Protein backbone atom coordinates (compact mmCIF):
# COMPACT_ATOMS: atom_id res chain seq x y z
CA UNK A 1 0.00 0.00 0.00
CA UNK A 2 1.42 3.40 -1.00
CA UNK A 3 2.11 6.06 1.63
CA UNK A 4 -0.74 8.26 0.39
CA UNK A 5 -3.15 5.31 0.55
CA UNK A 6 -2.13 4.67 4.16
CA UNK A 7 -2.67 8.32 5.08
CA UNK A 8 -6.02 8.33 3.31
CA UNK A 9 -7.26 5.13 4.95
CA UNK A 10 -6.02 6.18 8.38
CA UNK A 11 -7.59 9.64 8.27
CA UNK A 12 -10.91 8.33 6.94
CA UNK A 13 -11.11 5.67 9.64
CA UNK A 14 -10.18 8.10 12.41
CA UNK A 15 -12.68 10.72 11.22
CA UNK A 16 -15.55 8.22 10.99
CA UNK A 17 -14.79 6.77 14.42
CA UNK A 18 -14.41 10.20 16.00
CA UNK A 19 -17.73 11.52 14.71
CA UNK A 20 -19.58 8.44 15.93
CA UNK A 21 -17.97 8.70 19.36
CA UNK A 22 -18.71 12.43 19.56
CA UNK A 23 -22.41 11.84 18.80
CA UNK A 24 -22.52 9.14 21.47
CA UNK A 25 -20.85 11.34 24.11
CA UNK A 26 -23.07 14.34 23.42
CA UNK A 27 -26.30 12.30 23.42
CA UNK A 28 -26.24 12.00 27.23
CA UNK A 29 -25.46 15.68 27.93
CA UNK A 30 -28.38 18.10 28.13
CA UNK A 31 -26.89 21.48 29.07
CA UNK A 32 -25.81 23.47 26.03
CA UNK A 33 -22.60 24.85 27.50
CA UNK A 34 -21.83 21.42 28.90
CA UNK A 35 -22.24 19.99 25.39
CA UNK A 36 -19.84 22.59 23.99
CA UNK A 37 -17.31 21.85 26.73
CA UNK A 38 -17.66 18.11 26.12
CA UNK A 39 -17.18 18.54 22.36
CA UNK A 40 -14.00 20.57 22.86
CA UNK A 41 -12.81 18.11 25.49
CA UNK A 42 -13.47 15.28 23.04
CA UNK A 43 -11.24 16.96 20.45
CA UNK A 44 -8.41 17.17 22.97
CA UNK A 45 -9.04 13.60 24.16
CA UNK A 46 -8.46 12.46 20.58
CA UNK A 47 -5.33 14.56 20.34
CA UNK A 48 -4.02 12.84 23.47
CA UNK A 49 -4.82 9.38 22.08
CA UNK A 50 -2.92 10.17 18.89
CA UNK A 51 0.04 11.54 20.84
CA UNK A 52 0.16 8.41 23.01
CA UNK A 53 -0.20 6.00 20.07
CA UNK A 54 2.20 7.65 17.65
CA UNK A 55 4.11 10.17 19.71
CA UNK A 56 2.37 12.80 17.61
CA UNK A 57 -1.25 13.25 16.49
CA UNK A 58 -0.25 14.29 13.10
CA UNK A 59 -1.39 11.85 10.49
CA UNK A 60 -3.66 14.70 9.44
CA UNK A 61 -0.67 17.05 9.18
CA UNK A 62 0.98 14.58 6.81
CA UNK A 63 -2.23 14.59 4.80
CA UNK A 64 -2.21 18.40 4.63
CA UNK A 65 1.39 18.27 3.39
CA UNK A 66 0.39 15.97 0.53
CA UNK A 67 -2.93 17.61 -0.38
CA UNK A 68 -1.42 19.70 -3.18
CA UNK A 69 -0.07 16.65 -4.96
CA UNK A 70 -2.69 13.99 -4.23
CA UNK A 71 -6.32 14.65 -5.27
CA UNK A 72 -7.64 11.72 -3.20
CA UNK A 73 -6.05 13.12 -0.04
CA UNK A 74 -7.39 16.59 -0.85
CA UNK A 75 -10.89 15.15 -1.24
CA UNK A 76 -10.59 13.29 2.06
CA UNK A 77 -9.51 16.51 3.78
CA UNK A 78 -12.42 18.38 2.25
CA UNK A 79 -14.78 15.64 3.44
CA UNK A 80 -13.22 15.78 6.91
CA UNK A 81 -13.63 19.57 6.99
CA UNK A 82 -17.28 19.32 5.89
CA UNK A 83 -17.99 16.79 8.63
CA UNK A 84 -16.25 18.88 11.28
CA UNK A 85 -18.06 22.04 10.15
CA UNK A 86 -21.38 20.16 10.13
CA UNK A 87 -20.83 19.05 13.73
CA UNK A 88 -20.03 22.66 14.68
CA UNK A 89 -23.08 23.97 12.76
CA UNK A 90 -25.37 21.59 14.62
CA UNK A 91 -24.02 22.69 18.00
CA UNK A 92 -24.22 26.38 17.07
CA UNK A 93 -27.76 26.05 15.70
CA UNK A 94 -28.74 24.37 18.95
CA UNK A 95 -27.35 27.41 20.77
CA UNK A 96 -29.42 29.76 18.63
CA UNK A 97 -32.58 27.71 19.23
CA UNK A 98 -31.94 27.62 22.99
CA UNK A 99 -31.30 31.38 23.07
CA UNK A 100 -27.68 30.85 24.16
CA UNK A 101 -26.49 32.43 20.91
CA UNK A 102 -27.99 35.39 19.04
CA UNK A 103 -30.29 34.83 16.07
CA UNK A 104 -28.07 37.11 13.97
CA UNK A 105 -25.06 34.77 14.35
CA UNK A 106 -23.56 33.66 11.02
CA UNK A 107 -23.57 30.02 12.09
CA UNK A 108 -21.85 28.69 8.95
CA UNK A 109 -18.97 31.17 9.15
CA UNK A 110 -18.47 30.66 12.88
CA UNK A 111 -18.52 26.88 12.36
CA UNK A 112 -15.78 27.18 9.73
CA UNK A 113 -13.80 29.41 12.10
CA UNK A 114 -14.07 26.92 14.97
CA UNK A 115 -13.04 24.04 12.68
CA UNK A 116 -10.00 26.07 11.61
CA UNK A 117 -9.26 26.90 15.26
CA UNK A 118 -9.28 23.20 16.17
CA UNK A 119 -7.00 22.36 13.24
CA UNK A 120 -4.74 25.20 14.35
CA UNK A 121 -4.52 23.54 17.76
CA UNK A 122 -3.14 20.43 16.02
CA UNK A 123 -0.48 22.55 14.35
CA UNK A 124 0.34 24.35 17.59
CA UNK A 125 0.64 21.01 19.42
CA UNK A 126 3.01 19.82 16.70
CA UNK A 127 5.12 22.95 17.02
CA UNK A 128 5.14 22.73 20.83
CA UNK A 129 6.33 19.11 20.81
CA UNK A 130 7.20 18.01 24.34
CA UNK A 131 6.26 21.46 25.67
CA UNK A 132 2.61 20.94 24.61
CA UNK A 133 0.17 21.30 27.49
CA UNK A 134 -3.42 20.24 26.91
CA UNK A 135 -4.70 22.57 29.64
CA UNK A 136 -3.25 25.62 27.86
CA UNK A 137 -4.50 24.62 24.42
CA UNK A 138 -7.95 23.75 25.70
CA UNK A 139 -8.18 27.01 27.68
CA UNK A 140 -7.25 29.03 24.57
CA UNK A 141 -9.83 27.21 22.46
CA UNK A 142 -12.57 27.70 25.05
CA UNK A 143 -11.68 31.41 25.34
CA UNK A 144 -12.60 31.95 21.68
CA UNK A 145 -15.81 29.96 22.03
CA UNK A 146 -16.69 31.86 25.22
CA UNK A 147 -16.36 35.11 23.24
CA UNK A 148 -18.87 33.73 20.71
CA UNK A 149 -21.22 32.77 23.55
CA UNK A 150 -20.85 36.25 25.06
CA UNK A 151 -22.12 37.71 21.79
CA UNK A 152 -25.63 36.63 22.82
CA UNK A 153 -25.75 39.80 24.94
CA UNK A 154 -25.40 42.00 21.84
CA UNK A 155 -28.74 43.20 20.49
CA UNK A 156 -27.36 43.39 16.98
CA UNK A 157 -24.48 41.96 15.09
CA UNK A 158 -21.27 43.90 15.56
CA UNK A 159 -19.46 44.26 12.28
CA UNK A 160 -15.83 44.61 11.37
CA UNK A 161 -14.66 45.96 8.03
CA UNK A 162 -13.21 43.53 5.52
CA UNK A 163 -9.79 44.75 4.49
CA UNK A 164 -9.31 45.44 0.82
CA UNK A 165 -6.55 43.24 -0.60
CA UNK A 166 -3.44 45.31 -1.14
CA UNK A 167 -0.14 44.12 -2.51
CA UNK A 168 2.90 44.63 -0.35
CA UNK A 169 6.51 43.81 -0.72
CA UNK A 170 8.56 41.85 1.72
CA UNK A 171 12.33 41.96 1.85
CA UNK A 172 12.34 38.52 0.19
CA UNK A 173 10.07 39.57 -2.69
CA UNK A 174 12.21 42.69 -3.32
CA UNK A 175 15.39 40.56 -3.32
CA UNK A 176 13.84 38.05 -5.74
CA UNK A 177 12.68 40.85 -8.04
CA UNK A 178 16.16 42.43 -7.98
CA UNK A 179 17.85 39.09 -8.74
CA UNK A 180 15.44 38.58 -11.65
CA UNK A 181 16.18 42.06 -13.04
CA UNK A 182 19.92 41.57 -12.82
CA UNK A 183 19.77 38.17 -14.54
CA UNK A 184 17.67 39.64 -17.39
CA UNK A 185 20.15 42.53 -17.74
CA UNK A 186 23.09 40.11 -17.99
CA UNK A 187 21.41 37.96 -20.71
pLDDT tens track for 42-88: 989 988 887 777 655 567 788 888 889 988 888 888 988 998 899 89
Distance of CA 31 to the CA centre of its chain: 24
Closest CA to 19 of 91, 75, 103: 91
Q: How far apart are CA 34 and CA 51, in angstroms?
A: 25
| Whole-number Å distance between alpha carbons of 107 and 38 | 19
Q: How many other C-beta atoms lie within 10 A of the C-beta of residue 170?
A: 8
Stated pTM of the model: 0.77
Query: For residues 136 and 141, what is the distance between their CA atoms, to the nearest angstrom?
Result: 9
Give residue-wise pLDDT tens across range 140-172. 999 999 999 898 888 888 888 998 887 777 767
3-state secondary structure of 167: coil
Ordered domains of the chain (ranges, CATH): 3-186 (1.10.357.10)
Amino acid sequence: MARSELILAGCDLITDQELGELRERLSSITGYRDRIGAAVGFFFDNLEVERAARGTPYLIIQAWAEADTDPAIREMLLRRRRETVTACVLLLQEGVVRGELPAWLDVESVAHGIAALLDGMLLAASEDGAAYRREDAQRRTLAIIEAVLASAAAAERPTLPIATPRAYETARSVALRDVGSRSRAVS
